[in-house]
Amino acid sequence: MLSGRRVVLGVSGGVAAYKSAYLARRLLEAGAEVRVVMTPAAQRFIGAQTFASLTGSHPLTDLFEDPSVSPHTELARWAELVIVAPATAATIARLAHGIADNALAATLLATRAPVVLAPAMHTEMWEHPATRRNISLIEADGHRIIGPFSGELAGGDVGIGRVAEPEEIVEFAKTVLHRPLEGLTVLVTAGGTREALDPVRYLGNRSSGKMGHAIAAAAAQRGAHVELVTTSSLPAPPGANVHRVESAQEMLEAVEKIHPDIAVFAAAVADFRPAQAAQDKLSRSDGPPTLVLEPTPDILASVVARGDDIFVVGFAAETGGVERAIEKAKRKGVDLMVYNDVTAPGSGFGTDTNQVTLIEPDGTVDRWPQLSKAEVASRLMEIVANRLGR
Ligand code: PMT
């Protein structure tokens, strides 16, 4: 996986910088070409000559003393993967806010390669609200984080903040470069539809779009061309082409224009909508209105009915056990159904975690532990890729 791949190793200034020499060695052993970029603080912890001797080329340490006209963009374009280890709180903050005031920060801003960060810092710094915010920002930008883990820190302290070990970072890097969905189009629906009652009110549900957006991000990370049809105002996952819609009808119309190889229906689509939305705002003085509902189009069914060779994943949000979801998997003709018990704590609508059960077309079930929605999405995309022989 790393053989012949061009990896830039960014080193920032923490005591864990000495481990980056081992990391460079492990990457070279795995067959990668490695170039190093260091912050001024990193050079207080480990010499540039150490990396020059290991990798055979001098690290980039300064934007103005390098003979190249634009050393950071040159390095950024050369990279197929950038690994920052250790990633200090300051380097993370620079990346989160686009501050390019040293050679590493400028390279990070200039690259279009995937970026992996291995944070290392004292527990207090890791837990500080500013660092928490910055980590959320860089994750939303699609950068990947490994660690930190609990263990011994600088000065004999113990707690969370220890950098991932070189071997762990190498294994993680392999998964980041693993792009089994390259060349495939993945359609994802996300969020809850809103069915108009009048110009200001709607029938809706509690879906936030987090699950669907996580799936779109996981598919894009694996090299897919992603078309995300969503009602959610969450930011567009990096690499996904986003279609913002509101109602089931709009979602259907957007989906009809997409010709995917894989379709994942994570949206909570209203089953019924008002047969007639009022032209004007309903008035209290007119008394309670009588609501006449009609069925919405079944978007998943319309894709299955195309009869194309599309791998279809449905989602089922149920409150009364897995049996209804098994029945739904069979009835809907999906290749996989993901059941979430929306009454379980930390599962279903609006949460950052989910507890799902994978249902095969023959009714076989595989119960997963509670995981972050990002992890559910990653595992699901790996399984789909595997089923397609990728
Ligand atoms: O968005 P979050 O807050 O992260 O929450 C995630 C979630 C709970 C919404 C998600 O994980 C989920 O379970 N989505 C499916 C919700 C649901 O209730 O589906 P359903 O049982 O009504 O429908 C079954 C399948 O058919 C779903 O894949 C649905 O997208 C699809 N469907 C349903 C009706 C319809 N008219 N068109 C459809 O495509």
Closest C-alpha residue for ligand 1 atom 19:
316
Confidence (pLDDT) at 341: 85
Confidence (pLDDT) at 153: 81
Does residue 30 share a domain with residue 168? yes
Domain count, the chain: 2
Domain CATH for 269: 3.40.50.10300
Confidence (pLDDT) at 66: 79
Determine the structural domain holding residue 356 and report its residue range: 185-387
Atom of ligand 1 nearest to the CA of 356: 11
The number of residues making up the chain comes to 390
Atom of ligand 1 nearest to the CA of 206: 3
User: Of 177, 203, 223, which closes a domain?
Assistant: 177
Supply angle C-alpha 199, 203, 207, rounded to 5. 120
Question: What distance in Å separates the CA atoms of residue 203 and residue 198, rounded to the nearest whole number?
Answer: 10
Does residue 192 share a domain with residue 160? no
CA of residue 191 to ligand 1 center, whole Å: 8
Atom of ligand 1 nearest to the CA of 208: 3
Does residue 228 share a domain with residue 83? no
Closest C-alpha residue for ligand 1 atom 8:
348
User: Of 161, 177, 193, which closes a domain?
Assistant: 177
Nearest Cα to Cα of residue 221 among 152, 308, 316, 139: 139
pLDDT at residue 68 greater than cutoff 90: no
Helix (H) or strand (E) holding 28: helix 17-29
Does residue 364 share a domain with residue 328? yes
Contact 196, 236 (CB under 8 A): no
Closest C-alpha residue for ligand 1 atom 36:
298
- CA 28 vs. chain centroid, Å, equals 28
- Catalytic (active-site) positions: 205
**Model confidence pLDDT, tens digit, residues 243-302:** 999 999 999 999 999 999 999 999 999 999 999 999 999 999 999 999 999 999 999 999
Question: What distance in Å separates the CA atoms of residue 117 and residue 84, rounded to the nearest whole number?
Answer: 5
Does residue 270 share a domain with residue 356? yes
Contact 354, 370 (CB under 8 A): yes
183 phi-psi bin (left φ>0, alpha ψ -120 to 50, beta other) = left
Closest C-alpha residue for ligand 1 atom 20:
316
Written as one letter, the residue type at 341 is D
Question: What distance in Å separates the CA atoms of residue 12 and residue 55, rounded to the nearest whole number?
Answer: 18
Residue 210 vs residues 189, 202, 270: alpha-carbon distances, Å: 11, 21, 17
Domain-located, residue 1: no
CA of residue 267 to ligand 1 center, whole Å: 4
Confidence (pLDDT) at 334: 97
Confidence (pLDDT) at 155: 79
Domain CATH for 50: 3.40.50.1950
Strands 144-145 and 115-119: parallel
Q: How many helices and strands (H and E) does the chain possess?
A: 14, 21
CA of residue 112 to ligand 1 center, whole Å: 34
Atom of ligand 1 nearest to the CA of 316: 21
**Model confidence pLDDT, tens digit, residues 224-241:** 999 999 999 999 998 899
Backbone angles phi, psi at 80, to 5 degrees: -95, -20
Question: What distance in Å separates the CA atoms of residue 77 and residue 60, rounded to the nearest whole number?
Answer: 14
Does residue 268 share a domain with residue 132? no
How much is the pTM?
A: 0.88
Contact 258, 245 (CB under 8 A): no
Domain-located, residue 55: yes
* Percent of the chain topping pLDDT 70: 100
Does residue 195 share a domain with residue 128? no
The ligand 1 site (C-beta within 6 Å) comprises 189, 191, 207-212, 248, 265-269, 271, 296, 298-300, 314-317, 328, 340, 342, 348-350
Contact 37, 13 (CB under 8 A): no
Confidence (pLDDT) at 368: 97
Helix (H) or strand (E) holding 267: none
pLDDT band at residue 158 under the 50/70/90 scheme: confident
Does residue 105 share a domain with residue 20? yes
Query: Cis omega (within 30 of 0) on the bond before 40?
Result: no
